[in-house]
Structure 1
Amino acid sequence: MKWWAILFLTLLVWLQVRLWSDDGGIAEFRELSDRVAEQQKANKQLEARNQELFKQVKALRNNDDAIEQYARLHLGMIKPGETFYRFVPTKK
């Protein structure tokens, strides 16, 4: 009966050491939980960005006005016969 108590106590001490140690213990669990939370936040931001890009793609596929607006804003294009004016700010 005495050797069962020693075995049980040894097992209990070993489990406590594993629980509180840095390798596979509570500290690592908390660190991984924090990293998971950060990654989930980043994923939500990327999902929102993807949704916005999907909306833009849908608009560009279905709407000629959206294509014209994109070409004017991002590519600097103008229609034939239009005059492009560029205002350069003066240095003070």
Structure 2
Amino acid sequence: MKLSPARQVVIAVLALSLLGLQIRLWFGEGSLRHVAALENEVESLDQQNAKLAERNRLLAADVRDLKEGSEAVEEIARKDLGMIRDGEVFFQILEPEQEKPDHAP
């Protein structure tokens, strides 16, 4: 069975279109591989956002504690600045330094 030239042209155009769509499906931007890479990146960014949201929540709680109560301020002053109340006695115990063995050749 012999096809007319018009049908041959139509079949060739359809075959080229199908080939072009397949190339686009498997390679380049918007391909299945590209979409999978973007999904992995989105998942990674979601995890980072979750960690940062938790950090922000903790910082907001610290800010709220500092604004509302003096206990948080006192705790920070004791820990970071070494402050003590009137009437308290502060003992500091120093560990002796460990001697380092000389390994000089």
Structure 1: gaps spanning 5 or more residues: none
The residue identity in structure 2 corresponding to 1:51 is: R
Q: With structure 1 as the length reference, what TM-score do the two structures score?
A: 0.83
The residue identity in structure 2 corresponding to 1:79 is: I
Structure 2: gaps spanning 5 or more residues: 1-6, 100-105
For each residue in 1:17-49, what CA deviation from the matched residue of structure 2 results, as whole angstroms up to 9, or x when unmatched? 11111x211111111110110000010010011
**CA contact 1:78–1:84 (8 Å) conserved in 2:** no
Greater radius of gyration (CA) = 2
**CA contact 2:84–2:90 (8 Å) conserved in 1:** no
Pairwise CA RMSD of aligned residues? 1.9
Q: Secondary structure at the match of 2:91?
A: coil
Q: With structure 2 as the length reference, what TM-score do the two structures score?
A: 0.74
Which of the two has greater helix per residue? 1
Count of residue pairs the alignment pairs up: 90
Runs of 4+ in 1 over 4 A off after TM superposition: 80-83
Higher relative contact order, structure no. (Cα contacts within 8 Å, ≥ 6 residues apart): 1
Q: Does 1:43 align with 2:62?
A: no
Q: Does 1:8 align with 2:14?
A: yes
Q: What are the residue-to-residue correspondences of 1:73-88 with 2, within 5 Å?
A: 73=79, 75-79=80-84, 81=86, 82-88=88-94
